């Protein structure tokens, strides 16, 4: 295989419910040499993220839908092999949206040159130092506005976004309650992320009662990653003037038909709760602060970045599907 042969994963049909292998295929293509203003990049790592499920729908959800019979895309970090741009040289490490392929030809303006603080940990730029980490930073700081002594509740708390929310909230002097789907994940949050209380939502019984027991003084900030029963429990336990940073609702992503939502939404009025939905890419004004703060926190050990690494592009679909069964700890990445 030549250095310009690329393997790509394409979507061949749109899933109505949970996606399966039958909705995807792998193809090989030959890429031309870069023209002026282009670069040939060999990806080292690619990201799989829950938001990608929304892009598999014909109408999209909060981003443009993926086209059929073309490479899927998302965050990837790789090395420049050939360059037709004077600002990028072979060997440079770059961040792109060229996931789901091991090599890509793209315009130089569409990649971001990185100067990794640790060349052995470039995958962090897809997780804690990338979109998920910045999502946690933006959502908690700009919309959660946590104050010292308040209680922050985080759903999907051991995931790529949630684990960072937990650790940032702890640094701000908050009491943190995290919801997870296994005892092993609960132990990780307690031992490594400093979370005060954890709830295994699969075994706790009534989630509202479990949350009230874990947060006896009520919830001031809820970082929403799951939706459904978690949103209902959060509203039940929310204090007056509570804030909800709505990042995602993974429990609904694979529903073929809409399901009934929480039946207690009137509490938003009575408790004067503020809910903000947000998309991280609308808040690039915070990117410089995020990179400075998060890099320092990682280097000092104040934030621990955990990854689940799956090897091989041929296993990328399995890695993506595992996001919906809760098989990952922290950020899920595919090593290419």
Q: What is the mean pLDDT of residues 19-48?
A: 97
Average the pLDDT over each of 48-52, 184-188, 229-233 and give the range with the smallest value: 48-52
Q: How far apart are CA 193 and CA 306, in angstroms?
A: 10
Q: How far apart are CA 283 and CA 67, in angstroms?
A: 26
State what percent of residues in the chain have pLDDT above 70. Answer: 96
pLDDT mean across residues, the chain: 94
Average the pLDDT over each of 32-36, 123-127, 322-326 and give the range with the smallest value: 322-326
pLDDT tier at 1, thresholds 50, 70, 90: low
Strands 151-154 and 103-107: unpaired
Cβ within 8 Å of residue 5, ≥6 positions away:
28, 29, 30, 31, 103
Taking only the tens place, the pLDDT of each residue in 153-205 is 999 999 999 999 999 999 999 999 999 999 999 999 999 999 999 999 999 99
Q: How far apart are CA 145 and CA 311, in angstroms?
A: 38
The predicted pLDDT at position 174 comes to: 98
The predicted pLDDT at position 254 comes to: 67
DSSP structure string for 219-268: EEEEEESS-THHHHHHHHHEEEEEEEEE---GGGTT-SS-----S-TTHH
Checking if the pLDDT of 296 tops 70, the result is yes
Contact 284, 135 (CB under 8 A): no
| All domains in the chain, ordered by first residue | 5-127+305-335 (3.90.180.10), 134-281 (3.40.50.720)
Q: Which of 94, 247, 275 shows the shortest CA–CA distance to 164?
A: 247
The predicted pLDDT at position 3 comes to: 80
Q: What is the mean pLDDT of residues 273-285?
A: 96
The predicted pLDDT at position 255 comes to: 59
Checking if the pLDDT of 28 tops 70, the result is yes
Checking if the pLDDT of 242 tops 60, the result is yes
Rounded to a whole number of angstroms, the CA Rg of the chain reads 20
Q: Which of 70, 77, 46 shows the shortest CA–CA distance to 56?
A: 70
Compute the C-alpha angle 195/293/214, nearest 5°.
15
Q: How far apart are CA 235 and CA 113, in angstroms?
A: 43
Token pair recorded at residue 192:
């490594």
Taking only the tens place, the pLDDT of each residue in 101-127 is 999 999 999 999 999 888 899 999 999
Q: Which helix (H) or strand (E) holds 11?
A: strand 5-11
The predicted pLDDT at position 302 comes to: 95
Cβ within 8 Å of residue 70, ≥6 positions away:
10, 11
Q: What is the mean pLDDT of residues 266-277?
A: 97
């Amino acid at each position: 295989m030549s250095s310009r042969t690329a393997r790509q994963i394409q979507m061949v049909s749109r899933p109505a419910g949970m996606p399966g292998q039958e909705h995807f295929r792998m193809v090989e293509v030959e890429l031309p040499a870069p023209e002026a203003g282009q670069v040939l990049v060999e990806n080292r790592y690619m990201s799989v993220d829950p938001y990608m499920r929304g892009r598999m729908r014909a109408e999209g959800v909060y981003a443009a839908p993926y086209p059929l019979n073309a490479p899927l895309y998302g965050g990837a970090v790789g090395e420049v092999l050939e360059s037709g741009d004077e600002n990028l040289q072979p060997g440079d490490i770059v961040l792109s949206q060229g996931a789901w392929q091991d090599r890509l030809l793209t315009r130089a303006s569409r990649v971001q040159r990185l100067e990794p603080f640790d060349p052995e940990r470039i995958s962090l730029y897809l997780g804690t130092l990338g979109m998920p980490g910045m999502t946690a930073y933006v959502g908690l700081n700009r919309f959660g506005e946590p104050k010292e002594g308040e209680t922050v509740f985080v759903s999907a708390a051991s995931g790529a976004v949630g684990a960072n929310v937990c650790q940032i909230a702890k640094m701000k002097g908050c009491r943190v309650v995290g919801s997870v789907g296994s005892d092993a994940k609960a132990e990780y949050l307690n031992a490594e992320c400093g979370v005060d209380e954890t709830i295994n939502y699969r075994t706790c019984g009534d989630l509202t009662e479990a949350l009230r027991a874990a947060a006896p003084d009520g919830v001031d900030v809820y970082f929403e990653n799951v939706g459904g029963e978690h949103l209902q429990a959060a509203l039940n336990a929310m204090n007056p003037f509570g804030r909800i940073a709505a990042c995602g609702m993974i429990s609904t992503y694979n529903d073929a038909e809409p399901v009934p939502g929480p039946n207690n939404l009137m509490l938003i009025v009575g408790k004067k709760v503020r809910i903000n939905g947000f998309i991280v890419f609308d808040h690039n004004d915070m990117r410089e602060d995020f990179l400075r703060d998060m890099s320092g926190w990682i280097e000092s050990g104040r934030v621990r970045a955990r990854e689940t690494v799956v090897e091989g592009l041929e296993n990328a679909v399995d890695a993506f599907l595992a996001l919906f069964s809760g098989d990952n700890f922290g950020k899920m990445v595919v090593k290419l």
